[in-house]
Structure 1
């Protein structure tokens, strides 16, 4: 039987180069490089042409080659506290998308152990041969007290204001939408309210409670009760059955969506119609709320925008640009009325 000629494996198609992108866009390869660095001085029409060529060719920067040329790793360390089960997935998604567009990869690092162990971990990350920069979603000052100023060899951005349990503080604990919720429900004819709050040691929960109480007082409404909760479905369930039912309350503002789910199910377990008899408003835009029965009115929080803005601040430091503008927190929160709220019932 004659031998069959050996078949050669088909060569993989080579990835496009920066020169091919430049040729397709009708610009120099230096211009493409400026585009990849997000040079703010580029003309909009040039940016558009290069972006179109990058997309058409599915061009991806060669990080290894760039690292050898620039002596950079093209890696960013994202630091999270190790003492929490909460992972800011949506913030990470926004930061990762912005990093990818700029040609960087993110490494997520948890800070565990005692103070010495945390400081040692940070000291390792501060070496430029390991990462180009650090984006932290947890405070670092206390963990860096033992480090010499000469150790700070890469740029650092600490995003937002969080404690070591990812509890928001300061601007990111902004509770302005609580007043908007009260005003929205008052516009539907509601006059008697209950607020099922979050834990008092969370700044975001405390601020929502305070803003709720202020808004109710300013509009001449009645707050039947402020119930201490713990962010859980169970705290909403208990409040609905023990406080709201039979009280004449027609509107409940829950500190988050989990609490709101509990309020709704607690009321429904007593055959109290939502929103026919009691309207319920939550906070966080948990995906489940869109498919709940009834769909939950809530506050949508744009965490992707927050994560993207945090990375862009770090990128401006890496590129030596002027500092990026601080995040406008007023654009983070948006009221989303759905089926769990409706007009107050007739007396």
Structure 2
């Protein structure tokens, strides 16, 4: 069967071929109803951009190198998923190489592997300062984008900081004032941003951050955080964790010591992993638009590759709390 063209898509959607082209290029000024018709037509016709034709026209490869780290973790994996979806829609292929974010030598070796063949650009989704320092020192003969600290609005706090603030506001609004925090590893920029946002908002609103324990994103480190607490440190009403895995480990260890969640202690996670809804108790958590972030950062790089102006606004959903059974108002919890 002959591959569908933009003219076929335009006829199916009832729009001009110029509208289809603008949609594929990420143009924002298209009415929502028109965007929906075009998206439906693209899916129904299984449209694939003619990257070979573009390559001949521009003498440019359609391959984008991606330097990634910790793709076993929920956030980085979902960022890559969103980027991969957009790459397919825009006719690009992602070459993904994983680097150890704790080693500059590993980053250099992975980057050398990534650029052995011609790439149109390089996207670094790795999340540690070590990775970023190594990348900044490299001379890449192609556009390069370091994904990390995008804010919801230009010049405003990073997404990680916003997530920390939203988490703090949620627990404070429930009446909690003495709160603990389980952070991720300090070498991760997302971990540092979430802690910074959480700590500042608790202080701004008159709460007390009683303690901070550093984990490594794993459930076992969340359990270790609970076990490390003194009797006085356990006299709190709420805990926030920088990801769901650590929150689950924390709850499990607390349960082993006879602490009931949320009757004795409210626990809030971050990331909204698929497992969070099925944990006992079901975990309250922050939902992050990781897929949208992946699409945005790759779109930003593609626009630079194709000589298009950058977008004026960052169109990402603000982190929001998904309320489940692991959190409760402080007075109800303590009196239940």
TM over 0.5: yes
Structure 1 residue 155 corresponds to structure 2 residue 143: yes
TM-score between both structures, scaled by the size of structure 1: 0.73
In the alignment, what sits opposite 1:124?
Answer: 116
In the alignment, what sits opposite 1:304?
Answer: 291
TM-score between both structures, scaled by the size of structure 2: 0.75
Task: Give the conservation status (yes or no) of the 8 Å contact 1:193–1:251.
Answer: yes
Q: Aligned pair in 2 of structure 1 residues 121, 161: CA closer, same or farther (>3 Å)?
A: farther
SS in 2 for 1:320: coil
Shift of 1:65: 4.2
Task: Give the conservation status (yes or no) of the 8 Å contact 1:312–1:324.
Answer: no
Q: Aligned pair in 2 of structure 1 residues 85, 265: CA closer, same or farther (>3 Å)?
A: closer
Task: Give the conservation status (yes or no) of the 8 Å contact 2:166–2:319.
Answer: no
Cα RMSD (Å): 3.8
Task: Give the conservation status (yes or no) of the 8 Å contact 2:63–2:93.
Answer: yes
Shift of 1:274: 0.8
Structure 1 residue 278 corresponds to structure 2 residue 281: no
In the alignment, what sits opposite 1:3?
Answer: none
Task: Give the conservation status (yes or no) of the 8 Å contact 1:306–1:332.
Answer: no
Task: Give the conservation status (yes or no) of the 8 Å contact 2:49–2:89.
Answer: no
Task: Give the conservation status (yes or no) of the 8 Å contact 2:254–2:260.
Answer: yes
Shift of 1:66: 4.1
Structure 1 residue 106 corresponds to structure 2 residue 94: yes
SS in 2 for 1:195: strand
Distance, in Å, in 2 between the alignment partners of 1:45 and 1:249 is: 50
Shift of 1:58: 3.0
Shift of 1:342: 0.8
**1:1-347 counterparts in 2 under 5 A?**
13-21=1-9, 24=12, 33=21, 36-38=24-26, 53-80=41-68, 88-110=76-98, 117=109, 120-121=112-113, 123-125=115-117, 130-138=118-126, 142-143=134-135, 145=137, 147=139, 152=141, 154-161=142-149, 172=158, 174-243=160-229, 247-325=234-312, 327=314, 331-344=317-330, 345-346=334-335
Task: Give the conservation status (yes or no) of the 8 Å contact 1:306–1:327.
Answer: no
Structure 2: where are the runs of 5+ without partners?
151-155
Structure 1: where are the runs of 5+ without partners?
1-12, 163-169
For the pair shown, the structure with the greater C-alpha radius of gyration is: 1
Shift of 1:191: 3.3
Q: Aligned pair in 2 of structure 1 residues 64, 258: CA closer, same or farther (>3 Å)?
A: same
Q: Aligned pair in 2 of structure 1 residues 282, 68: CA closer, same or farther (>3 Å)?
A: same
